[in-house]
Amino acid sequence: MPFSSLPTHLADALTKRGYTGLTPVQAAVLEPQAAGRDLIVSAQTGSGKTVAFGLAMASELLNESGVTSPAAKPLALVIAPTRELALQVSRELIWLYSGAGARITTCVGGMDASKERRSLGYGTHIVVGTPGRLRDHLERGALDLSALKAVVLDEADEMLDMGFREELEEILDATPERRRTLLFSATLPRPIIALAKRYQRDAHRISTVGDDRGHGDITYQAVTVSPSEIENAVVNLLRFHEAETAMLFCATRDNVRHLHATLQERGFAVVALSGEHSQAERNQAMQALRDRRARVCVATDVAARGIDLPSLSLVVHVEIPRDPEVLQHRSGRTGRAGKKGTAVIVVPYPRRRRVESMLRDARIEADWIDAPTPEAIRVQDRGRLLANLLEAVEFDDEDRELAVRLMAERSPEDIAAALVHAHRAAMPQPEELIANTPEAREAAQKERHRPGFEDTVWFRLAVGRKQNADPRWILPILCRRGHVTRGEIGAIRLGPEETFVQIPRAVAAKFADAVKRTAAAELAAGEESMLIEPSESGPRDTARQSRRDGPPRRAPNDGPPRGKPKVHRKGKHPHNANRPPKTYSDRKPRG
C-alpha cells in the first residue's frame, strides 16, 4: 500500500481520490524532522499543499484509533485570503477527513453568518475561513479558539498583500500559545518573515519551489500583437485551442466587464468574476463552468484566487501581470494534479522587453509566437471535427430512421457538407490580424502618435504622482496657462515628482511665452502658480504613462485622488510648496 505510514482513513481517502503517491510538498511535511513542529512552507500553486497541511495536522486531530473524538471547540483553524480559496480548502478537507469523522465548518464573507454561528455552536473539529469573517465571529463570541491545536495560514503572502495583517494578528493573538502554526506561502517577503518570527517557535523550513520556478506541467507562450488588436488575438487564441475551460485575466473589474461583453457578443459561452459580483453571482458563474454551460471565464487576479477547475487547460494573460509572482499565481490555475496546461501572455509590441524581463525573473522559458491566424484555426477545426465524427457513438432507432430519410433526399456528400456547415456556423468566427512583421510593428508604433504630433517639444511640470497629480486636472491648467486648446496637447506622462507634457513644435514657442506671462501675472496678484518650463531631456524611462492611457491606475471605486497636489508659491521653490491649488480648472483664461 503506497500510504502505509498514514492513518488508515486518510490513506483510504487518498486511494479513493486516485492518488498513487504523494507530491513533494506532501511528502516533506510528513518527514520526521517536521513532525509536531511549526512549519514555513514555500510551495507553488497547484502543488497539492491543501492535502499537505491536511496530512500535517492529522496528529492534532485524530486519536489513537485514527478517528476524531467529539469536539465542542475547534481543534484546527485554516485561514485563506479569499472566499473561493476557503471553499476549495473546505472541500478538500471534507473528502480527506470524511472517513475519520471530522466535522468542518466554513466561515466566509457573503454567506449566511447566522448559519455559520449555529454550526460553530454545534461543535466542530476544523474551521476554514477568511480573515474578516473569522474576526467577526471571534468578536461576537461565536468562535472560541481556546482549544486550538493547529493554525494554518494558506497563501499568507496574498493575505498580507490584501491588507489583512490586523485581522490575522487579532485572530492569532486569541489562540493558545502552545499550538502549531503552519505557514504556507508561495513567496517569503519580509512581512511574512516578521509574521513568522512573532507567532512561530523554531519553525522548520520547507521549500519545494526549487531553482526552476516555472510549473513543470504548464507550457508558456508569449504572443506579440499590435496594441489595437489585443481583443482579436484573444478571440483567435480561444478558437485555436478550443479548451474545455479557459480563464482570461484582466487587471481591473472595468476591463473584465468590457471583455466579457465583447466575447458574449461574438458568441462565446463566457462568465465573469470580479469584485463587483455578489457571492450568489460568483457561485452561479462557477457552477456554469463546472456544468460546461460556460467554457470561458474572464476574471481579475483576486477574484480568481482559490478557483480549482480540473478541466481548466488554458490561461490567457490578457493584461500583463504586474510581477513574476502574479504571473505564477495566474498560470497556476492550470496544469494541476498532473494534467497539462497552457499559459499565454498577450504582449503588445512596445511592451516586449518588460515581459522578457519578467519571464527571466520568474525563470520561465516561454515560446514567442504569433497569434493564430484564421487559416491555422480552420486547420485545427477540421482535425477536431473529423475526430468528433469518427468517434464511436451509439445510435438509437430514431437516429437511424432520420438518417435513412436524409439519405433518400440528399447525397452522402451533401449530408456531410451540411454537417460541417452546421458545425462551423455554431462557432465564433476567427479574426484577421495584422501580420507580425517589422513593417507592421513600425506602423503600430506610429499609430500611437496623433496627426500633428510627429515633431513635439516636452514641457515639465513640478508635480507628480506623489503629489496626486492627475491628467484630468492637469489638462485644463495647461489650456488656461498656455492659451492652447485640448487638441494641441499631446502625451501627459506622470513621474514620481514631475510630469512631462508634449506640445507640437509649431505652437511650442507661443505656449512657452504664455505660461511665463500667466505665471508672472498670478504671482504678482499674490496667487499660487504651478511651475511649467521647457525640458530638453523629456520624461525619464520610468515615467511611461501617457494621456491616452488615462489617469494613474487605482483600485476600482476608490473615488478621486486623496489629498491635493503641491504647487509653486511666490518666493518658494516648487518642491517645498505644500499648499493646495485654488481649483485651477474653475478659473477663466486670462487675456
Q: Are residues 386 and 367 in the same domain?
A: no
Confidence of residue 590 (pLDDT cuts 50, 70, 90): very low
Q: Are residues 183 and 239 in the same domain?
A: no
In this prediction, residues 316-323 reach a mean pLDDT of 92
Confidence of residue 561 (pLDDT cuts 50, 70, 90): very low
What residue ranges in 284-414 does DSSP mark as E strands? Answer: 296-299, 312-317, 341-348, 367-370
pLDDT digits (tens, 9 = 90+) for 111-134: 889 999 999 999 999 999 999 999
Are 548 and 471 in contact, with CB atoms under 8 Å apart? no
Cell of 530: 504651478
pLDDT digits (tens, 9 = 90+) for 342-370: 999 999 988 999 999 999 988 899 999 99
Confidence of residue 246 (pLDDT cuts 50, 70, 90): very high
Q: Are residues 286 and 200 in the same domain?
A: no
pLDDT digits (tens, 9 = 90+) for 256-314: 999 999 999 889 999 999 888 887 888 899 889 988 899 999 999 877 776 778 788 99
Q: Give the model's pLDDT for residue 560.
A: 39
Residue 442 domain-assigned (yes or no) = no
- Under DSSP, the state recorded for 155 is T
Least confident of 43-52, 153-162, 307-316, 487-496: 43-52
Q: Give the model's pLDDT for residue 129.
A: 95
List the CATH number of the domain containing 473: 3.30.70.330
Q: Give the model's pLDDT for residue 160.
A: 83
pLDDT digits (tens, 9 = 90+) for 179-227: 999 998 877 778 888 889 999 998 999 987 654 444 557 899 999 998 8
Distance between CA atoms of 429 and 239, rounded to whole angstroms? 8
Q: Give the model's pLDDT for residue 213.
A: 46
Q: Give the model's pLDDT for residue 564.
A: 43
Question: Which residues on neighbouring strands pair with residue 107, listed in sequence order?
Answer: 129
Distance between CA atoms of 186 and 500, rounded to whole angstroms? 39
Instruction: Say if strands 180-184 and 104-107 run parallel, antiparallel, or are unpaired.
Output: unpaired
Q: Are residues 196 and 342 in the same domain?
A: no
In this prediction, residues 513-522 reach a mean pLDDT of 89
Please report, rounded to a whole number, the percentage of residues in the chain having pLDDT higher than 70.
Answer: 85
Least confident of 299-313, 426-440, 539-553: 539-553
Strand order in the sheet with 532-535: 492-494, 499-504, 456-461, 532-535
Its domain, for residue 548, covers 456-586
Pairwise pLDDT comparison (380 vs 215), residue with the higher score: 380
Q: Are residues 328 and 414 in the same domain?
A: no
Checking if the pLDDT of 2 tops 70, the result is no
Q: Are residues 420 and 357 in the same domain?
A: no
Q: Give the model's pLDDT for residue 447.
A: 54
Question: Which residues on neighbouring strands pair with residue 249, listed in sequence order?
Answer: 299, 317
Q: Are residues 83 and 142 in the same domain?
A: yes
Q: Across the chain, what does the average pLDDT equal?
A: 83
Radius of gyration of the chain (CA): 30
CB neighbours of residue 239 within 10 Å:
22
Which residue shows C-alpha cell 515633431? Answer: 455
- Under DSSP, the state recorded for 193 is H
Residue 559 domain-assigned (yes or no) = yes
Least confident of 263-277, 426-440, 525-539, 559-573: 559-573
Q: Are residues 386 and 464 in the same domain?
A: no
Q: Give the model's pLDDT for residue 468.
A: 79
Distance between CA atoms of 90 and 108, rounded to whole angstroms? 11
Q: Are residues 386 and 501 in the same domain?
A: no
Distance between CA atoms of 362 and 222, rounded to whole angstroms? 14
Residue 431 domain-assigned (yes or no) = no
Containing 504, the helix (H) or strand (E) segment is strand 499-504
Which residue shows C-alpha cell 510528513? Answer: 30
Q: Are residues 134 and 258 in the same domain?
A: no
Distance between CA atoms of 399 and 522, rounded to whole angstroms? 86
Q: Are residues 244 and 336 in the same domain?
A: yes
Number of structural domains found in the chain: 4
Q: Are residues 324 and 398 in the same domain?
A: no
List the CATH number of the domain containing 320: 3.40.50.300
Residue 591 domain-assigned (yes or no) = no
Cα dihedral sign, 477-478-484-485:
negative
Q: Give the model's pLDDT for residue 131.
A: 93
Containing 255, the helix (H) or strand (E) segment is helix 253-265
Cα–Cα–Cα angle for 376, 381, 387, rounded to 5 degrees: 130
Q: Give the model's pLDDT for residue 183.
A: 93
Which residue shows C-alpha cell 482549544? Answer: 147
Confidence of residue 563 (pLDDT cuts 50, 70, 90): very low
Burial 429-444 (b: 16+ CB within 10 A, else e): ebbebbebeeebbeeb
Q: Give the model's pLDDT for residue 486.
A: 84
Are 294 and 227 in contact, with CB atoms under 8 Å apart? no
Tell me the residue type at 202: D
